[in-house]
Structure 1
Amino acid sequence: MSRRLERRPAFAVTVTVVFFAWLYLPIVAVVLFSFNSVKSLATFQGFSTRWYVDFFHDSSLITSLTASLGIAAVAAAGSLILGTMLALGLERIRSRSGRAIGAVTLLPLVTPEIVTGVAALLFFTGLGMKLSLVTVTLAEITFSIAYVTVIVRGRLASMSPEVEEAARDLGCTPWQAVRQVILPTLVPALLGSGLLVFALVFDDFVLAFFTTGVDPQPLPVRIYSSIRFGVSPAINAVGTLMLAFSALLIVLALLVPRLFHRKTSTLDLIAGGERP
């Protein structure tokens, strides 16, 4: 029995290593061959940045990159506004209907994205809307509201309700209490959720594929269209840049709330030390 217990961790470590190797080795290959000096996806013959230069001189890819950045920025701003309003409303509803609405809000997080994409496509075509960057943006905003709502509600749950009540007792109107007391406290959650939504929307493919028009296309859809006619090392360069940019945004989304929390804790300690 003791020998079996000793073997289990080794087996678990082996499975974990194989899993991560299977998951990340293709990504490592994409990054490596994006610096290949020759147009080959099988042999690596030396480092070069020629494919990155080709990407920045490709007008269609630059147009798609600009479209993706615009979609991600608008989706992040729209989902922040609507998601924050929804979180504030749900936090004040303590009845069964509020809990039911909160559960419905979480459905986009567990629903397969292809189902959401098909539903958005049927919705827009049913309304007679022409597929374009507008439909992509609307679909991304609808899908991203849930992320903002969950993050902001988590921050609201950690706040004491006496803070808003004290502001109301001091003469603030409900809107002034929200604008001057609650929203400044939510800044870390808003920044983190905004960066997270921007990263998710920027490299989203499934929803963009079902709701985009002919031209201009978001960058992930443009990459997929290019791969269908043959994989070019320039596509590897685009994928590497998207990977690095998305990873940077996710790291910032994780670090920004922590930095704000540390700053707030430091200020509280200083203020507490200065009190008589």
Structure 2
Amino acid sequence: MPRRSLERRPRTAVAVTVLLFAWLYLPILAVTLFSFNDKKSLSAFSGFSLRWYHDLAHDQALLESLVASLQIATLATLGSLVLGTMLALGLERVRSRRGRVIGAVTLLPLVTPEIVTGVAALLLFTGIGLKLSLTTVVLAEITFSIAYVTVIVRGRLAGLSTEVEEAARDLGCTPWQALRLVTLPALVPALLGAGLLVFALVFDDFVLAFFTTGVDPQPLPVRVYSSIRFGVSPAINAIGTLMLLVSALLIVAALVLLRLFGRGTSSLELITGGERR
């Protein structure tokens, strides 16, 4: 009886896992399938066609929103990388109680509901008289994304030995040169992974964009939501499929980079490379 019980448990776990993945991904697969539907129907599939992708390519409003989302994601990624790296370096250097408190506060955006962050950003921008536009969306996304960059970069810094930077200082490097020639090159894998992850999160983020965007041009998720309110077109399925594909590729690339380059470069190579430069 115990053996049979143990043999049944994996089957039950497999069944539950299959049901869970079906519940999560069947709707996404349906959206992808109907984006290739030949007819304007969201319930009956009649045949494969690229009709709705062709309509998407000639929809000026959606294309403008796509460009706006790409700009927002790019600027938010660059801004969060700079600020998040600076914050991670500072927190890693400060080993006091104050540093631990600041580090804990840094993690708050990761556990705070995004709608709370969106409402807070809206109140802040309207309170200081800043007109809602793509600029306010970028500022809100940077604020939300800094925590992700800080966590990833701090994880990389924790695996680096401080002796490497000290050795560079002993070889004649100034603190800035040691940071630029030794520490930052070692952080490149983490920065690439964090940048790709933040870009994917910001590109398809709806909540913050909805609360902080202006009238026009709207980010793509907000434009899609506005279009759905007035009737669902299969072109929405096409743009949803493309957004899903881009986000999935970026997240996979981020995970692969963190796995492949997480081992980092040897300390001797870093110092030698710094001297050659």
TM-score under structure 1 normalisation?
Answer: 0.93
Paired with 2:263 and 2:81, the residues of 1 have a C-alpha distance of: 23
Paired with 2:151 and 2:137, the residues of 1 have a C-alpha distance of: 22
Paired with 1:213 and 1:263, the residues of 2 have a C-alpha distance of: 43
Task: Give the drift of 1:264.
Answer: 4.1
Paired with 1:256 and 1:11, the residues of 2 have a C-alpha distance of: 34
Q: 1:274 matched to which residue of 2?
A: none
Q: 2:34 matched to which residue of 1?
A: 33
Task: Give the drift of 1:262.
Answer: 6.7
Q: 1:212 matched to which residue of 2?
A: 213
Q: 1:92 matched to which residue of 2?
A: 93
Letter in 2 for 1:9: P
2:98 paired with 1:76:
no
Paired with 1:263 and 1:56, the residues of 2 have a C-alpha distance of: 42
Letter in 1 for 2:190: A
Shift in alpha-carbon separation, 1:87–1:260, aligned structure 2, 3 A? same
Q: For residues 195-236 of structure 1, what are the alpha-carbon distances to aligned partners after superposition, in whole Å with 9 as ceiling and x for unaligned?
A: 110000000001111111111100000000000111110000
Query: Which SS does the other structure have where 2:261 is aligned?
Result: helix
Letter in 2 for 1:63: E
Question: After superposition, where does 1:1-276 map in structure 2 within 5 Å?
Answer: 2=2, 3-261=4-262, 264=265
Gaps in structure 1 of 5+ consecutive residues? 272-276
Shift in alpha-carbon separation, 1:179–1:264, aligned structure 2, 3 A? closer
Task: Give the drift of 1:259.
Answer: 3.4
Question: Percent identity among equivalent residues?
Answer: 79
Q: For residues 102-129 of structure 1, what are the alpha-carbon distances to aligned partners after superposition, in whole Å with 9 as ceiling and x for unaligned?
A: 0000010111111111111111111111
Shift in alpha-carbon separation, 1:37–1:218, aligned structure 2, 3 A? same
Shift in alpha-carbon separation, 1:258–1:10, aligned structure 2, 3 A? closer
Q: For residues 118-175 of structure 1, what are the alpha-carbon distances to aligned partners after superposition, in whole Å with 9 as ceiling and x for unaligned?
A: 1111111111111110000000000000000000001100000101111111111111
Letter in 2 for 1:65: L
Task: Give the drift of 1:57.
Answer: 0.3
Paired with 2:125 and 2:9, the residues of 1 have a C-alpha distance of: 52
**Equivalenced residues, count:** 268
Task: Give the drift of 1:257.
Answer: 3.0
Query: Which SS does the other structure have where 1:119 is aligned?
Result: helix
Which stretch of structure 1 is more off in the superposition, 3-12 or 202-211? 3-12
Gaps in structure 2 of 5+ consecutive residues? 273-277
Shift in alpha-carbon separation, 1:179–1:254, aligned structure 2, 3 A? same
Q: For residues 159-193 of structure 1, what are the alpha-carbon distances to aligned partners after superposition, in whole Å with 9 as ceiling and x for unaligned?
A: 00101111111111111110111001111011110
Shift in alpha-carbon separation, 1:127–1:263, aligned structure 2, 3 A? closer
Letter in 1 for 2:238: A
Paired with 1:36 and 1:10, the residues of 2 have a C-alpha distance of: 36
Letter in 1 for 2:22: A
RMSD: 1.6
Q: Report if aligned partners of 2:186, 2:265 keep a CA contact under 8 Å in 1.
A: no
Q: Report if aligned partners of 2:190, 2:262 keep a CA contact under 8 Å in 1.
A: no
Task: Give the drift of 1:11.
Answer: 2.1
Task: Give the drift of 1:256.
Answer: 2.0
Paired with 2:144 and 2:264, the residues of 1 have a C-alpha distance of: 32
Q: For residues 34-75 of structure 1, what are the alpha-carbon distances to aligned partners after superposition, in whole Å with 9 as ceiling and x for unaligned?
A: 000000001101000010010010000000000000000000
Letter in 2 for 1:195: L
Q: 2:275 matched to which residue of 1?
A: none
Paired with 2:252 and 2:24, the residues of 1 have a C-alpha distance of: 20
Paired with 2:264 and 2:127, the residues of 1 have a C-alpha distance of: 50
Letter in 1 for 2:105: V
